[in-house]
């Protein structure tokens, strides 16, 4: 991934030297377990522990000859360890080291993503409570529907990212597995009980049945969890973009001092962060498809997945980490314009209470179809005229105003009637002490 989208904390996990270090960790764990069982001499294990170093440049140099990355890695380590290196990698295949080392990287990266998800939920909780009763036009198909609150909208995002965190935790456990099972997974040289002990040393579970590799449905689960996070980020970003449109103007991204919106138009304040997030989301989601296509490999293994994972795993993880922190900052500073929300609500006048009137008529004994018809006619007239005279038309209609009592009719247009259950929903989302 390009530096522009890479936070140092996450970038370090995917540096070349970190990959090699995890591979060293795996090789040392194998040797330590074998030494504990008396299969490697004490002086040899001490040399392996202290001298198993590597030089990425030297590894690349060797690989240009061997055309094999793991052999190049082992050759370089052996150059540093010396005679004791004969005990390194005994009974292992390349994927034992690669897949188990990758699991360590994936688990570490998932931890950072989970932390970012938790932090973002804290921000969403605060903004949702802040705007719990900030009235805004609810929209379906982009058209005013009924009033809602901005806080309720944000509370919906909060629950979505709660689910994202749970999925990410589950995905972390799915990849928290290692293997030391040999060339086709039959454990001919390292018995299963030793394999399990080695994985425990590394903080991993053992893959119950591997082939030459850890099965790629685990990695696909991890990638789809990332893709769903990306989709949820895009959902929030899309809302931010829509609300910032000039014709809407209900909220906008924070515009910092000295920031420029356009090279040609000095007046521009564009939703550039949310647009960036919408775009990057597409990339992560598309990468998940590649991960799914990595699941069906030939027999015990081919390497068609390997080149793909070198790109999609670090790139997607680095992007999600970046996107979550960018979105958190956006939401933390998101500028809200409640008065503009009220103005936009007023553009539809009393039309947004049409369902309340219909249901009030139903309660008088009309069928739903009859009530719908009596309300729709005046609604369509008011819509066409653009006069906002919906309420007056209903009041003058004997089939509506003449049927409903004055109090009942007035209650239909009370904005608070739309919000009477907001607190109950917030209790369901944030608990009974949310205030």
Q: Could you tell me the CATH number of the domain that includes residue 112?
A: 1.20.200.10
Catalytic residue at 418?
no
Residue 81 lies in a domain: yes
Report the CATH number that the domain containing residue 43 is assigned in CATH: 1.10.275.10
Instruction: Report the 10 Å Cβ neighbour count for 412.
Output: 22
Residue 9 has pLDDT above 90, yes or no: yes
Residue 265 lies in a domain: no
Which pLDDT value is given to residue 434? 78
Closest by CA position to 175, among listed 99, 112, 96: 99
Q: What angle do CA 280, 137, 406 make, to 5 degrees?
A: 165
Pair 367, 286 in one domain:
no
Which pLDDT value is given to residue 386? 85
Q: Look at the alpha carbons of 311, 317, 318, 322 in this order and tell me if their dihedral is positive or negative.
A: positive
Pair 183, 290 in one domain:
yes
Mean pLDDT in residue range 285-290? 98
Which pLDDT value is given to residue 360? 96
Q: Please state the φ and ψ torsions of residue 370, each to the nearest 5 degrees.
A: -65, -45
| Cα–Cα distances in angstroms (integers) from residue 309 to residues 2, 52, 294, 297, 326, in the given order | 16, 26, 9, 13, 25
Pair 380, 303 in one domain:
no
Residue 216 has pLDDT above 80, yes or no: yes
Q: Which of 297, 315, 337 is the last residue of a domain?
A: 337
In DSSP terms, which residues pair with 206 in a beta bridge?
178
Pair 70, 21 in one domain:
yes
Catalytic residue at 144?
no
Q: HEC states along the chain?
A: CCHHHCCHHHHHHCCHHHHHHHHHHHHHHHHHHHHHCCCCCHHHHHHHHHHCCCCHHHHHHHHHHHCCHHHHHHHHHHHHHHHHHHHCCCCCCHHHHHHHHHHHHHHHHHHHHHHHHHHHHHHHHHHHHHCCCCEEEEEECCEEEEEEEHHHHHHHHHHHHHHHHHHHHHHHHHHCEECCCCCCCCCCCCCHHHHHHHHHHCCCEECCCCCCCCCCHHHHHHHHHHHHHHHHHHHHHHHHHHHHCCCCCCEECCCCCCCCCCCCCCCCCCCHHHHHHHHHHHHHHHHHHHHHHCCCCCCCCCCHHHHHHHHHHHHHHHHHHHHHHHHHHHHHHCEECHHHHHHHHHHCHHHHHHHHHHHHHHHCCCCHHHHHHHHHHHHHHHHHHCCCCHHHHHHHCCCCCCCCCHHHHHHCCCHHHHCCCHHHHHHHHHCCCCC
Residue 260 lies in a domain: no
Residue 387 has pLDDT above 80, yes or no: no
> Residues 342, 135: contact at Cβ < 8 Å?
yes
Residue 16 lies in a domain: yes
Pair 123, 165 in one domain:
yes
d(C-alpha 430, C-alpha 435), whole Å: 9
The contacts of residue 191 (CB under 8 Å, 6+ apart) are none
Mean pLDDT in residue range 392-417? 93
Q: What percent of the chain has pLDDT over 70?
A: 100
Pair 187, 242 in one domain:
yes
Range of the domain at 307: 91-253+270-337
Which pLDDT value is given to residue 232? 98
The contacts of residue 423 (CB under 8 Å, 6+ apart) are 132
- Convert the pLDDT of each residue in 217-266 to its tens digit: 999 999 999 999 999 999 999 999 999 999 999 999 999 899 988 888 98
Number of domains in the chain: 3
Pair 144, 185 in one domain:
yes
Residue 153 lies in a domain: yes
> Residues 400, 376: contact at Cβ < 8 Å?
no
Q: Which of 55, 90, 125 is the last residue of a domain?
A: 90
Pair 107, 85 in one domain:
no
d(C-alpha 181, C-alpha 55), whole Å: 27
Residue 117 has pLDDT above 80, yes or no: yes
Which pLDDT value is given to residue 388? 80
Q: What percent of the chain has pLDDT over 90?
A: 94
Mean pLDDT in residue range 202-209? 97
Pair 358, 303 in one domain:
no
Which pLDDT value is given to residue 346? 93
Mean pLDDT in residue range 344-356? 94
Pair 296, 405 in one domain:
no
Residue 264 lies in a domain: no
Q: Which of 90, 110, 145 is the last residue of a domain?
A: 90
Pair 232, 111 in one domain:
yes
The contacts of residue 96 (CB under 8 Å, 6+ apart) are 26, 179, 180, 181, 182
Which pLDDT value is given to residue 261? 87
Residue 185 lies in a domain: yes
Q: What is the pTM of this model?
A: 0.94
- Convert the pLDDT of each residue in 132-149 to its tens digit: 999 999 999 999 999 999
What does the CA dihedral 208, 209, 214, 217 come to, rounded to 10 degrees?
A: -90
Residue 171 lies in a domain: yes
Pair 234, 364 in one domain:
no
Residue 95 has pLDDT above 80, yes or no: yes
Which pLDDT value is given to residue 364? 95
Instruction: Report the 10 Å Cβ neighbour count for 27.
Output: 26
Mean pLDDT in residue range 347-363? 95
Q: Which of 141, 267, 299, 433 is catalytic?
A: 141
Mean pLDDT in residue range 365-386? 95
Residue 418 has pLDDT above 80, yes or no: yes
Report the CATH number that the domain containing residue 352 is assigned in CATH: 1.10.40.30
Mean pLDDT estimate for the chain: 96
Q: Which of 68, 118, 170, 262 is catalytic?
A: 262
Q: Which of 308-317, 383-392, 394-403 has the lowest mean pLDDT?
A: 383-392
């Amino acid at each position: 991934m390009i530096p522009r989208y890479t936070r140092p904390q996450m970038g370090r996990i995917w540096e070349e030297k970190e990959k090699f270090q995890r591979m060293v960790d795996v090789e040392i764990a194998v040797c330590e377990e074998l030494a504990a069982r008396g299969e490697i001499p004490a002086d040899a294990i001490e040399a392996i522990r202290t001298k198993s170093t590597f030089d990425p440049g030297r590894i690349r140099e060797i690989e240009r000859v061997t055309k094999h990355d793991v052999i190049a890695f082992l050759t370089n380590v052996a150059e540093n360890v010396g005679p004791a290196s004969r005990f390194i990698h005994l009974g292992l295949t390349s994927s034992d080291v690669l897949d188990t080392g990758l699991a360590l990287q994936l688990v570490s990266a998932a931890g950072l993503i989970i932390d970012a998800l938790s932090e973002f939920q804290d921000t969403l909780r605060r903004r949702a409570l802040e705007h719990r009763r900030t009235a805004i036009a609810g929209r379906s198909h982009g058209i005013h529907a009924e009033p809602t609150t901005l806080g309720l909208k944000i509370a919906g995002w909060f629950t979505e990212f709660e689910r994202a965190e749970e999925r990410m935790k589950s995905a972390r456990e799915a990849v928290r597995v290692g293997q030391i099972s040999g060339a086709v997974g039959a454990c001919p040289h390292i018995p299963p009980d030793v394999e399990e002990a080695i994985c425990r040393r590394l903080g991993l579970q053992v893959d119950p049945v591997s082939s030459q590799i850890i099965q790629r449905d685990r990695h696909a689960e991890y990638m789809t969890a990332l893709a769903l996070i990306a989709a949820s980020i895009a959902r929030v970003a899309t809302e931010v973009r829509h609300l910032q449109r000039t014709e809407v103007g209900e909220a906008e991204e924070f515009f910092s001092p000295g920031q420029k919106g356009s090279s040609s138009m000095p007046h521009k304040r564009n939703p550039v962060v949310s647009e960036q997030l919408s775009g990057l989301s597409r990339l992560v989601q598309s990468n998940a498809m590649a991960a799914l296509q990595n699941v069906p490999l030939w027999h015990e293994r081919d390497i068609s997945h390997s080149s793909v994972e070198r790109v999609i795993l670090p790139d997607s993880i680095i992007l999600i980490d970046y996107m979550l922190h960018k979105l958190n900052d956006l939401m933390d500073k998101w500028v809200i314009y409640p008065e503009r929300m009220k103005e936009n609500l007023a553009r539809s006048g009393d039309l947004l209470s049409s369902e309340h009137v219909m249901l009030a008529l139903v309660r008088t004994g009309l069928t739903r179809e009859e009530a719908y018809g009596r309300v729709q006619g005046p609604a369509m007239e008011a819509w066409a005229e653009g006069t906002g005279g919906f309420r007056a038309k209903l009041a003058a209609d004997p089939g509506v105003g003449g049927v409903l009592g004055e109090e009942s009719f007035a209650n239909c247009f009370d904005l608070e009637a739309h919000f009477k259950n907001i607190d109950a929903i917030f209790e369901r989302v944030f608990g009974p002490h949310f205030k």
